[in-house]
A and B are shown apart, each in its own frame.
Chain A
Amino acid sequence: MNDHTPALLIILPLLFAFLVSGMAWIKKGLCYPLAAGGSGLCAFFSIRLFAHVLEHGTVQYSLGGWEAPWGIGYHVDLLNGLVLVVVSVLAFINMIATRRAVAAQFPEKEGAFYALYLLFIVGLVGIAATGDLFNLYVLLEVASLTSYGLIALGGGRAPLSSLNYLYMGTIGGCFYLLGVGYLYIMTGSLNMADVASLLPPLYGSSAIWVAFTFCMVGVGVKMAFFPLHVWLPNAYTYAPSAVSSLIAPLMTKVMVYVMIRLMISVFCVDFAFSVLDLGNAMVWLSILAIVMGAALALAQKNLKRMFCYIIVSEIGYMVGGAWLGNPAGMTGAILHILNDALMTICLFLAAGTIHYRINNLDLDQLQGMFRRMPVTMACLVAAGLSIIGVPPTCGFFSKWYLITGALQAGQYGFMAALLFSSLVNVILFFRVIEIGYYGDFHHGRVHGSALETRTEAPAAMLVPLLILSAGLVVMGVFTGTIVTSVIDPVLPAALGRQPLCP
């Protein structure tokens, strides 16, 4: 392909990040327009690339003009294309929506903030596009390092939770690197497709399954899979709201994508399910993740913290779906990457908007919020309904696929866990609605003129939020199209003929 879209996708935000950070010292006013420009161009090119992939099939791009096993190649198929679009578009919308909050919070360091923001996007986009195992590690570190810096900008406990995230994240990164090292010593290659073609004769080797385990544990730490999730709630709760609505929806989802990519195009489905037979164990772990995430979410008194535990439980959905080992489960998992990113950004943006107005996100401070910020709360409820899985919204459809997959695989425990967490989500969101609408019933209904006045957030924040909430329903309507034209072609053929749990 003579078109340079895959490269431009990465280097334009990168160049703009450097420009922004330099501009911070020359003309501060230009930082935001430049950053928005870089992010917008990234979104534009990712959509263009996705359209190209839909039309012409997989795109290969060799960087530096060296073909794949020697140089680094980009390999963009429909799955990557989808993730690329999700990452770049959501990051762009978030940048527009949180402009005021950022300007108010970091007046002096806006340039550095936006440079880190763009570099974070670059990291995630690169992870999604790359076809090289080591390049993935480097980009993972770019994304992680920027997120450590961004998260620590929050007040209070933010630096401490960011440092904990740094320790956990580095362990995860190192485990992934070790896994890649074990693969490299056995195969001698770092290119994903090349490794995949060299692996089958080595399936019996213990080094390969140890490599697989370490890669999975490393990715699991970064995506906050249940026993390894301890860094997530604190880090995302104490981060500044503009940052948590950027990182929370994207980082974990991209890591789920990495897991699926490793499963289907590096180690191949045969290895993961037949040779290792890990399916059952992983599904049980994800059941644990779902149940514990939901249960811990119930115990939280802070809105953002509650959302964080919902993320932990949603990660369980995706991991479990991917490891069910049948097309329906995998479809559900991939669809849920898309839907969950959308739902989570909606939740965190709404939380950020509330934070912008009342500077507090404790649940008991939300009394009368429906009267004060009706539009924001409506969006929050819409996202909540989607998380619960109410039909017209997209959350329903991915849950439907996951439950179908669970039934086909005979994993009734996973189905029960899904239903349990939906039930818990109902309780969680109706509690929010109850407090927001009727006031906290322990203290009686509040009748204060200050609390009754409408203090809706500025339109610049509301419009993106409304667009995203509308997106929830639109995604739901177009689920069928997405599944048939995007997800079905990428499902590995091996999944279909897998005899599952006889």
Chain B
Amino acid sequence: MTRPSTVATLRRIGLGGITGSPVAFAVVLVLMALLLAVPFAHNGYVETTFRYILMYATMAYGWNMIGGYTGYVSFGQVAFFGIGAYCSAVLSTMKIDNLFADVALACVVAAAFAILIGLAVLQLKGHYFAIATLGVGLAVTDIVSNLDALGGTGGMNISQVDEAHFSVYYYAMWLVALGAILATYFIARSKLGYAFVAIRENEEAAAVLGINPRRYKIAAWAISATMAGAAGAVFAAANGHLEPSIAFSPDSNIFPIVMALLGGIGTVAGPFIGAVILAGVNELLQRYFVNVHTLFFGAVIVLVVLLLPRGLVWLFGLRGGARAWLKSLTVNKA
């Protein structure tokens, strides 16, 4: 439940506001349009970097649906990502190398898994839900690692297009990311979005207004799983090889969350902005602090949490300047 006092304080200094501002959406779309030009740089590394950004952004949108809009903080999104990735690998072993088929199967399987698991874990709240989802992610990793049919820890290979046509993976990821952005935008403004937010704000009160919390929580989770699964499918195809440590990497779990938080959770623009900035910061750290960049990355997270607790999107809506910002930082002091 939200503490009225906290929210009120944040409101007074301009940190509140419901999501889905058309301006934010427009900015994201413009940036997305610019990203269409990336393959023309003919630099594989730049293309891969942006493909990763789009991938993490898609996952951040996925996380945002359940964690940002519905208020259920999931640490198990990597399971859906990995499952989506393995869909590509399995299809490739069946000689089906079609990105559309990959993504379609990944979406269906990830959503089905989310619904199945959701029936159990979405009964939990708060920390318990968070831990249960973390457990789901790790358990799936462990089970896949022990399945010979999926190559065990050795993994599986996926046939790829040649270097000349490699940008097809970039565009596929771009489309998946665009799908996630548009889906988030339209869902946020729809009845569905209001059901999610109502559940986040107060599940009991939402039920009294006729919202079936269980059904809508599962819907939110299935949507978020679809996004993660689709990103995983394209990732696997572009990677050419898949094994549990890659498919279920802790990075794929934590990066999207940090990105969504940095940008602003429960917003349409936040995950994308967060993904772009975090990737940029990581890039700079890798370049200039080879030996200690992880140390700095830890420091960046600590600073973001302490100084930008509601993300950049909110910060730029702040009224009242530095003083108001400083005041917002003490809201959660014990």
Do A and B make up one complex? no
Residues of B within 8 A of A (CB): none
